[in-house]
Structure 1
Amino acid sequence: MVSQTDPNARESVIVVMDGKRNKGMVDALDWALKHCVRRKDTVIVIGVLSEMGKKNATHCFPLNMGINISGILEKLEFSSGNTEGKPKDPGEEIERKREQYRSILQPFTRKCKRNEVKLEVKIAAGICPVEITLREAHNSNTRWIVLDSHLKKYKMCIYWNVECNVAVMKGKDVATLLPSRAPKPDYSSVSTERADAETCPDNQPLNDPENRVVEEGESPILETPRGPAWYPLQYRAGYPREFSFGEIEEITNGFSDIICEEGNLRIFEGVLENTPIIVKSVQNDERFWSMLSILSRVRHRNIMNIVGYCCSGTNRLLISDYPCLYNFAMKLQCDISAIKLTWRARWYTAIEIGGSLRYLHEECPDGPIVHRSVCSSNIVYSHGYSPMLSNFITAKWNKCELPSDVNSTGKCPNLEEEKRIYVDIHDYGLFLVELISGKVSGCFPHENEGQSLKDWALPLLQSESVTQLMDLRLADKDDDSKVVHCMARAALLCLKNDSGRSISISEVLAVVRGDQRAILQF
């Protein structure tokens, strides 16, 4: 949470922008100055270049951008139009962006100076937007965070880790508000009139959104805040169910809020029964029916299930709860949230996700299900609930036909099907390495040099050099070293099976739990 700061210190408004954009890049700052910033505030503008130079990057940092930069942060101080000092040149792209920001944002300094507002501009390269935003909010007396529309996919993860107001741009002069979860101060004495910037009281916003008068014929610029519910829809009576296309249009406000688009998959956000949800539009018929057939039969507290579905014309839609606290990969990549993930919490996560795999492999009445994509990026959180396995887009039934003269033992004799089960076992082992090391598979710093997370971790696991694997952010906390060693033994069992026989997830889970008989057996 945001640190407690001196109540007499300047309050700050943080504006986070996608630094790769040129068109409309200052919309968030312009909106913040009109509706959030008060006299004598500090405005911190952050231009995020977290995905620069890497195609289809997904929240990875630090990045290898070809210019030997690792998570740099440049700060541009504006005072009378000049910067204080000149930072070391970090590369052509950073220098170009630095000059662009100086040019585009310079006109805002006059308005800020007139109202005694301090303007700071920072360029963050190779840093996750959530990481840098939470870091700045933690270190300043932050009242508002305003996110560029291109960064809205990070809004819930940021919102649940701060106690200030959060605004997300939807377009020029249009924003969605997420109100502070902390007790609100009393602004009853604030005038409802639009005050001139020169005569604006010290405690009044330059243009307070709560007091702004909407002119006749003008549409309101702010939407009603949407508060996340505490109880996921997937557990409520009556779900999952079939939805009409009209219902989905209403839930998603006409599909106006798209979170991301990747290949044949588009994801929208919406609200159902005052609860945030996401709607996945799956263009591939085979994948859609495969996911629907699996998720309509699966029920487990550690599996992100569907709330409903819609098949209308060419539309193939799956509705599920919004993972308010985002995915585990992002938590590991953000120092602030990673430190909160103690060894005991990571161990519990390993047990719960292992339990969801055991359910899929061994307890489903229609036969084993193979997820085929177990990793920290596909493990999500809803606020106040356990980690849940998500993203069943690659999942498959692992059915087999047993010969009539073979007694069923619950195991399939087909070696190919056993290999498919082992894919999940292997991936679970790699997930255990992520938990222990705090590093994310696919974002390992040395991958561009040909070394994967597994390549790095396996020799250390084999030599029992667990301390060299442990997340340095938690390395000084030795009181739970036992659970770390249990996860390490299980990871080795999953990643390097020399026993000559297939290993079940139940056997792996026994090792994670610290069952001495299981540990001695392997």
Structure 2
Amino acid sequence: MSDQQTSIFGLHLWIVLGITAGAVFVLILFLISLWLTTRSKKPVKKQTTPDCITTSLPQHNANTSQEIQRLSTIEKQALLLVTVSNGGGPEVSHLGWGHWYTLRELEVATDGFADENVIGQGGYGIVYRGVVADGTQVAVKNLLNNRGQAEKEFEVEVEAIGRVRHKNLLRLLGYCAEGAHRILVYEYVNNGNLEQWVHGDVGPCSPLTWEIRMKIIIGTAKALTYLHEGLEPKVVHRDIKTSNILLDRLWNPKVSDFGLAKLLGADMSYITTRVMGTLGYVAPEYASTGMVNEKSDVYSFGILFLELISGRYPVDHKRPQEEVYLVDWIKKMVNERCLEKVLDPKMMEKPSSRVLKRALAVALRCVDLNSERRPKIGHVIHMLESQDQFSINEQNISKLKQEQDISNAYTHYSNASY
């Protein structure tokens, strides 16, 4: 039968069967080989996105590139971070500093953002005391998402202040951007803020001696000098005030809260149509024209200096009319040669007349209505630390009398946004 010819090319039947069997055998071998090759490959581990940014990243589709363009700077940085993820979320960001915290970590650290852990509250966020996994005490600032200010404050602090290291600047340890949450994690400073010690209930005698007050003032000036002269671009804080000066147990000051800060190039100013800051601390030219530069910080520093000397608020409507504005009142006391009256009555040990005159001379130069006449903050340190005698002479007093009353500058505040 095998010798019979078939209709397939006139071949014998046994030849056709052999070719068919061989083809089937080869096909089976190919399928087995393909199966074994697939089995031998290790499964590719799906790359995961860090927990703190999973809800912020866009889904991949035809419009992905456009979605990425609309992301904030921080979210773009988070997207880049995916390429170096180790599968469980990176501990250190690709920026070279800081810890990426998940929302869950910070909830655990603060007992679910419990009310009893609140240590501060402002217009843009609530600050909680917390303890992270390694036992470190931290201050956790949960930014309130009001009109996008939370995102702005978050970006300014992370991008501008994250790398900054100075003993008189509050250190930013890390951050979390998960969904709509924007949270900043700082070092914990354990002695409250300057406002609490100057205006709080500390009893009849303040623990803030003259020496401690000068230590706080000089430390604050050194922090501002670093921001203004030690960085490029320079950083203008825009919200220097007693509540933003934290203190440790040795009374070392740490400037905090950079949510309103501006980064400026050398010899540059910034003009805004929306004045931000705190009533009483805002420089007159900033309130009236919206122009801000480092001299704006010098003015706020001068107000803080006078506040620390006197123990009075910059603006206090509970006082008699002639004492409402601190600068006006102190100038009046200088004109009348009643310098001892400007000192905080809770300060037991008074400085000498010469030392007080020098301090007042420096502070009043900082709050000069003409921003060009204000000293640079680095020069302020030199004046305070040098042994030269800076006194308020007759020429200074005459100049004070001729100056426009500073209360006129505050007329601009009624229309300003804070």
Sort the TM-score into its range (normalised by shorter chain): 0.5 to 0.7
User: Out of 188, 194, 199, which is 1:328 matched to?
Assistant: 194
2:32 maps to none
Q: Is the 8 A contact 1:343 1:480 kept in 2?
A: no
1:506 maps to 378
Report whether the alignment pairs 1:469 with 2:333: no
Q: Is the 8 A contact 1:324 1:383 kept in 2?
A: yes
User: Out of 162, 170, 173, which is 1:307 matched to?
Assistant: 173
User: Out of 112, 128, 150, which is 1:254 matched to?
Assistant: 112
Q: Is the 8 A contact 2:139 2:187 kept in 1?
A: yes
C-alpha displacement at 1:445, in angstroms?
Answer: 3.6
Letter in 1 for 2:110: T
C-alpha displacement at 1:494, in angstroms?
Answer: 0.8
Check 1:252–1:479 CA distance in 2 against 1; reply closer, same or farther (3 A cut). closer
User: Out of 473, 481, 494, which is 2:366 matched to?
Assistant: 494
Check 1:298–1:483 CA distance in 2 against 1; reply closer, same or farther (3 A cut). farther
Letter in 1 for 2:319: H
Q: Secondary structure at the match of 2:206?
A: helix
C-alpha displacement at 1:454, in angstroms?
Answer: 2.3
1:90-489 equivalence runs, <5 A: 240-257=98-115, 259=118, 262-272=122-132, 273-282=134-143, 283=145, 284-333=150-199, 334-336=201-203, 339-364=206-231, 366-384=232-250, 386-399=252-265, 411-412=266-267, 414=269, 419-442=292-315, 445-446=318-319, 451-461=324-334, 465-474=338-347, 477-478=349-350, 480-489=352-361
Letter in 2 for 1:355: K
1:202 maps to none
Check 1:281–1:516 CA distance in 2 against 1; reply closer, same or farther (3 A cut). same
Letter in 1 for 2:239: S
Range with greater deviation from structure 2 (490-499 or 425-434): 490-499
Q: Secondary structure at the match of 1:340?
A: coil
Aligned-residue sequence identity (percent) comes to 25
Could you list the runs of 5+ residues in structure 1 that have no partner in the other structure? 1-237, 400-410
Q: Is the 8 A contact 1:311 1:317 kept in 2?
A: yes
Q: Is the 8 A contact 1:374 1:427 kept in 2?
A: yes
> Which structure has greater helix proportion?
2
Q: Secondary structure at the match of 2:170?
A: coil
Q: Which TM-score applies when normalising by structure 1?
A: 0.47
Q: Is the 8 A contact 1:326 1:380 kept in 2?
A: yes
C-alpha distance after superposition, 1:32-70 (max 9, x if no partner): xxxxxxxxxxxxxxxxxxxxxxxxxxxxxxxxxxxxxxx
C-alpha distance after superposition, 1:465-514 (max 9, x if no partner): 42121112236x34554433222111110112569545311122222224
Q: Is the 8 A contact 2:139 2:186 kept in 1?
A: yes
Check 1:498–1:291 CA distance in 2 against 1; reply closer, same or farther (3 A cut). closer
Q: Secondary structure at the match of 1:373?
A: coil
Q: Is the 8 A contact 1:277 1:319 kept in 2?
A: yes
Q: Is the 8 A contact 1:343 1:484 kept in 2?
A: no
Q: How many residues align?
A: 272
- Alpha-carbon distance between aligned partners in 1 of 2:157 and 2:260, rounded to the nearest angstrom: 8
Could you list the runs of 5+ residues in structure 2 that have no partner in the other structure? 1-95, 272-289, 397-418
- Alpha-carbon distance between aligned partners in 1 of 2:153 and 2:270, rounded to the nearest angstrom: 25
Letter in 1 for 2:327: K
Q: Secondary structure at the match of 1:248?
A: helix
Letter in 1 for 2:224: L
Q: Is the 8 A contact 2:168 2:253 kept in 1?
A: yes
Check 1:377–1:466 CA distance in 2 against 1; reply closer, same or farther (3 A cut). same
C-alpha displacement at 1:414, in angstroms?
Answer: 4.8
Check 1:372–1:479 CA distance in 2 against 1; reply closer, same or farther (3 A cut). closer
Letter in 2 for 1:268: Y
Check 1:338–1:285 CA distance in 2 against 1; reply closer, same or farther (3 A cut). farther
C-alpha distance after superposition, 1:236-295 (max 9, x if no partner): xx9632212222122122223452555542323211343432211222211211121122
Q: Is the 8 A contact 2:196 2:243 kept in 1?
A: yes
CA RMSD across the alignment: 3.2
C-alpha distance after superposition, 1:431-485 (max 9, x if no partner): 111121122335564288882222322333455542121112236x345544332
- Alpha-carbon distance between aligned partners in 2 of 1:500 and 1:278, rounded to the nearest angstrom: 38
Q: Which TM-score applies when normalising by structure 2?
A: 0.58
